[in-house]
């Protein structure tokens, strides 16, 4: 405490001079004071002392006693500007040795500061203090206040309660003594928001992958904050969160590299800048997923072709082991348990679903559902629609370039009569006559379904597919061609649903007419149709060209083109060439040549001619039912299917017209029983869409 005493003196003119005498006392018990009656009263001459001041440390109280040789009223007037507390004492101006009168102290509030409070927490019990004034045995100070924080109460001189709202509150405190003297002091109370951790979940992570640092958040208290894994402490640098692999620093940043998958939970603590003033804790949850397997899709494979695909891992701890816990890999393929590589040579086509799993050194695991599609054929394979004389059932066969034969699909309840390939999707379409008339669709992976079943179809014997995926079916019972979109809906030339034919063919005896169709590569494409027994006449052949709108152009007719020789009398197959010429396989040949292949050059023009490409003289044999011309950069190669009617077993023949070579294709594996048509699989496997 500091006290200042001032002693008055006169200058001989009855003017008050002040002499300031300062006594500074330290804040220690039993401090020494100089008694008032021992203070000197020297005669002071000279200039008056003005603007005297006193400086006090926060919380100290000064009581200033000013004695003057003037009357009480005059002294009071002098002291109108003196603060904070002055006790005026008037002394007889003619008696400089008069006894100092007893000081009467005014009431004075000695509480200068109030502690902070926290919303929602009990306020520290605080007692207001005052000195001076008049008190009695049965009379004490009376306290009151205004502007107090919500939730705090003043009972007597004690402040208590629980604050409900944060903010800085300027409180006016008043104390009244027994003589109704009062004192007022303005005090400030700072109510701090409750400290609260606002983030309870952090972003997910992958085991074994460095975690992108995340910031914990808090509100309330007095920032800055200090974070830790235990109460009443601050993290010393970066600390590990148990064995999880995560870390926490004092700034509340979570990082590290997770070591275990699952929901990692831990409790964090935060203190505000007042440290022990507020502490908050929260259970934090961090989701850690297992290692990630890539890729999520696999490239297609092909039966008989070497296949390799590598599975890769993102994340994981230590070494990993691979396995297939569910499903199966395609026959011929295996998964390397250490390298994660799928390899081998597929022996069966189809769509195979399986789950790949890897497990790391800490027991973390990741799984990925995968689908591996194995194409039944390769570019350049031949497809044979193999029926039976009884029309009870049939098969679609694959013939490789090496002559290996295998079954692509079994076709019950009817005999396959024609086959065509959609070069854009690899889908195979097989016309089935007798039994249940229909068109069967076989995907390149061997999935079999009825594309069109019954309905308008009576005797489907020919099929062709345009570049848009529309399927055209020639029916020798109704003498018509029907158009279906890729979904199997019958449509007209514009693609609108219909129940009408696309085009009508020349009439012929039911079930006797042979029809073969092929599209050119013009844009838009035109459909070329060769049919026999036209006009109900045997050995009559007509070659028609149909535009995309169904407009018919007759290119060749045995009867109307009698001036052309040799004459074409039967239809077993048709192929087109880039020079516009058309080859027709004549299984009947009324030209004493036996089975033959004839070429129509400049079809439909005045300079049209026919010529023999190959005949039985080169070994061409028997009843030709189909013809295909795979792409060749050297010589034209034609493959013909022979059903065996008319001599010899059913078989495939290879013809190289430029060299006049005809040979039987050696076939091993599944034998041919009644080859009705042949097609070239011209789907480019490397461009398989997913």
Residues 178-230 have pLDDT tens digits of: 988 899 999 999 999 989 899 888 899 999 999 999 999 999 888 899 999 99
In this structure, are residues 469 and 485 in contact, taking their beta carbons and an 8 Å threshold? yes
In angstroms, the CA 216 to CA 254 distance is: 7
Separation of alpha carbons 484 and 499, rounded Å: 11
Q: Is 517 exposed, middle or buried (0-12, 13-18, 19+ CB in 10 A)?
A: buried
Domain with CATH 2.120.10.30 in the chain: 382-683
Q: For residue 298, list its beta bridge partners.
A: none
What is the Cα–Cα distance from 328 to 443, expressed in whole angstroms?
20
52, pLDDT greater than 60: no
The CATH code for residues 196-289 is 2.60.40.10
The span from the CA of 481 to the CA of 391, in Å, is 22
pLDDT over threshold 60, residue 85: no
308 Cβ contact partners less than 8 Å away, ≥ 6 residues apart: 341, 342, 343
Give the pLDDT confidence score for residue 77 in this predicted structure: 59
Query: 3-state SS string over 472-533?
Result: EEEECCCCEEEEECCCCCEECCCCCECCCCCEECCCCCCCCCCEEEEECCCCCCCEEEEEEC
> How many Å apart are CA 391 and CA 434, to the nearest integer?
6
- Contact between 257 and 241 under an 8 Å Cβ cutoff? The reply is no
CA–CA gap between residue 466 and residue 481 (Å, rounded):
14
Q: What is the mean pLDDT of residues 113-134?
A: 91
**CATH tag for 292-375 (out of 3.40.50.300, 2.30.33.40, 2.60.40.10, 3.40.640.10):** 2.60.40.10
**Whether pLDDT at 332 is above 90:** yes
Q: How many other CB atoms sit within 10 Å of the CB of residue 391?
A: 17
- Ranking 54-68, 341-355, 387-401, 448-462 by mean pLDDT, the lowest is 54-68
Q: For position 365, what pLDDT does the model report? A: 96
Rounded to a whole number of angstroms, the distance between the first and last alpha carbons of the chain is 90
Residues of the chain above pLDDT 90, percent: 58
Asked which of 21-35, 132-146, 365-379 is least confident by mean pLDDT, the reply is 21-35
The pLDDT value given to residue 68: 55
Over 50: is that where the pLDDT of 54 sits?
Answer: yes
> What is the distance, to the nearest Å, from the Cα of residue 405 to the centroid of all Cα atoms in its chain?
46
Average pLDDT, the chain: 84
Read off φ and ψ for residue 389, nearest 5 degrees.
-60, -30
Q: For residue 324, is pLDDT > 90?
A: yes
Query: How high is the pLDDT of residue 512?
Result: 66
HEC states along 559-604? CCCCCCCCCCCCCCEEEECCCCCEEEEECCCCCCCCCEEEEEECCC
Give me the mean pLDDT over the 224-251 stretch: 92
What count of other Cβ atoms lies within 10 Å of the Cβ of residue 94? 7
Say if residues 293 and 312 touch (Cβ distance below 8 Å): yes
Q: How high is the pLDDT of residue 29?
A: 43
Instruction: Say what the pLDDT of residue 500 is.
Output: 95
Average pLDDT over residues 426-435: 92
Residue 274 in this model has a pLDDT that exceeds 50: yes
pLDDT at residue 592 tops 90:
no
The per-residue b/e assignment along 57-88, b for 16 or more CB within 10 angstroms, e otherwise, is eeeebebbbbbbbbeeeebeebeeeeeebbbb
* Cα Rg of the chain (Å, integer): 55
DSSP string, 433-466: ESSS-EEEEE-TT--EEEEEESTT-S-EEEEEE-
Calculate mean pLDDT across residues 140-167: 95
Low-confidence winner among 430-434, 435-439, 473-477, 627-631 (lowest mean pLDDT): 627-631
Give CA–CA dist 16/264, Å, rounded.
83
The CA angle 150-156-161, to the nearest 5 degrees, is 30
Task: Indicate the range of 16-25, 292-301, 355-364 predicted with least confidence.
Answer: 16-25
Closest CA to 150 of 171, 164, 169: 164
**Where in the chain are all domains bearing CATH 2.60.40.10?**
108-192, 196-289, 292-375
The answer on pLDDT for 17 being more than 90 is no
Specify the fold of 108-192: Immunoglobulin-like (2.60.40)
Question: Could you tell me the pLDDT band of residue 63, with boundaries at 50, 70 and 90?
Answer: low
Say yes or no to pLDDT of 582 above 60: yes
Return d(Cα 394, Cα 411) in angstroms, integer: 5
* pLDDT, tens only, 657-687: 888 888 999 999 999 988 999 999 887 754 3
Mean pLDDT of the region 458-479: 95
CB-count burial class (<10 Å; 0-12, 13-18, 19+) for 472: buried
Length of the chain counted residue by residue: 690
Helix (H), strand (E) at residue 74: helix 72-78
Asked: is 382-683 a CATH 2.120.10.30 domain? The reply is yes
The more confidently predicted of residues 393 and 330 is 330
């Amino acid at each position: 405490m500091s006290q200042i005493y001032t002693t008055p003196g006169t200058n001989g003119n009855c003017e008050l001079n002040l002499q300031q005498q300062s006594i500074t006392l330290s804040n220690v018990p039993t401090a020494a004071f100089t008694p008032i009656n021992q203070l000197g009263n020297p005669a002071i001459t000279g200039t008056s002392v003005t603007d005297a001041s006193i400086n006090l440390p926060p919380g100290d109280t000064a009581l200033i006693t000013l004695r003057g040789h003037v009357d009480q009223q005059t002294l009071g007037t002098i002291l109108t500007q003196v603060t904070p507390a002055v006790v005026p004492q008037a002394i007889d101006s003619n008696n400089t040795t008069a006894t100092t009168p007893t000081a009467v102290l005014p009431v004075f509030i000695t509480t200068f500061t109030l502690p902070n409070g926290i919303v929602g927490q009990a306020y520290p019990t605080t007692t207001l203090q005052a000195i001076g004034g008049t008190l009695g045995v049965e009379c004490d100070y009376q306290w009151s206040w205004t502007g107090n924080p919500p939730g705090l109460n003043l009972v007597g001189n004690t402040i208590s309660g629980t604050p409900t709202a944060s903010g800085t509150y300027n409180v006016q405190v008043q104390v009244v003594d027994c003589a109704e003297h009062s004192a007022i002091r303005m005090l400030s109370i700072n109510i701090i928001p409750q400290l609260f951790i606002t983030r309870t979940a952090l972003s997910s992570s992958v085991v074994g992958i460095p975690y992108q640092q995340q910031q914990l958040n808090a509100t309330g208290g007095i920032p800055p904050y200090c974070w830790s894994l235990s109460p009443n402490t601050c993290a010393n640098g970066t600390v590990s969160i148990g064995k999880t692999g995560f870390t926490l620093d004092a700034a509340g940043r979570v990082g590290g590299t997770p070591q275990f998958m699952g929901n990692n939970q831990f409790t964090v603590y935060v203190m505000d800048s007042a440290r022990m003033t507020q502490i908050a804790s929260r259970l934090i949850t961090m989701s850690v997923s297992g290692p990630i397997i890539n890729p999520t899709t696999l490239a297609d494979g092909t039966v008989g072709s070497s296949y390799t695909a590598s599975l890769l891992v993102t994340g994981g701890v230590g070494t990993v082991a691979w396995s297939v816990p569910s499903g199966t890999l395609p026959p011929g393929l295996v998964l390397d348990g250490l390298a994660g590589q799928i390899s081998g040579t597929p022996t069966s086509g189809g769509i195979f679903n399986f789950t790949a799993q890897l497990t790391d050194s800490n027991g973390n695991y990741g799984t990925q559902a995968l689908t591996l599609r194995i194409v039944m054929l390769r570019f350049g394979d031949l497809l044979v629609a193999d029926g039976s004389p009884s029309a009870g059932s049939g098969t679609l066969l694959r013939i490789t370039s090496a002559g290996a034969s295998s079954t692509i699909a079994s076709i019950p309840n009817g005999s396959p009569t024609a086959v065509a390939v959609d070069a854009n999707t690899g889908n195979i379409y097989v016309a089935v006559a007798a039994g249940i008339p229909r068109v069967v669709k076989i995907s390149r992976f061997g999935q079999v379904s009825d594309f069109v079943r019954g309905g308008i179809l009576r005797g489907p014997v020919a099929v062709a597919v345009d570049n848009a995926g529309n399927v055209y079916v020639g029916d020798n019972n109704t003498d018509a061609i029907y158009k279906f979109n890729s979904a199997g809906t019958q449509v007209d030339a514009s693609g609108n649903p219909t129940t009408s034919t696309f085009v009508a063919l020349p009439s012929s005896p039911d079930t006797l007419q042979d029809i073969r169709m092929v599209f050119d590569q013009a844009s838009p494409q035109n459909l070329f149709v060769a049919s026999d027994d036209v006009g109900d006449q045997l050995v009559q052949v007509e070659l028609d060209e149909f535009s995309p709108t169904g407009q018919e152009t007759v290119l060749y007719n045995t009867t109307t083109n009698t001036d052309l020789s040799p004459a074409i009398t039967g239809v077993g197959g048709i192929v087109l060439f880039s020079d516009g010429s058309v080859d027709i396989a004549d299984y009947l040949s009324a030209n004493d040549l036996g089975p033959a292949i004839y070429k129509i050059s400049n079809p439909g023009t005045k300079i049209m001619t026919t010529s023999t490409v190959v005949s039985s003289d080169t070994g061409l044999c028997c009843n030709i039912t189909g013809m295909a011309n795979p792409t060749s950069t050297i010589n034209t190669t034609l493959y013909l299917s022979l059903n065996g009617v008319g001599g010899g077993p059913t078989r495939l023949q290879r013809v190289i017209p430029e060299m006049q070579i005809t040979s039987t294709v050696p076939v091993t594996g599944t034998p041919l029983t009644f080859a009705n048509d042949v097609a070239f699989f011209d789907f480019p496997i490397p461009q398989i869409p997913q």
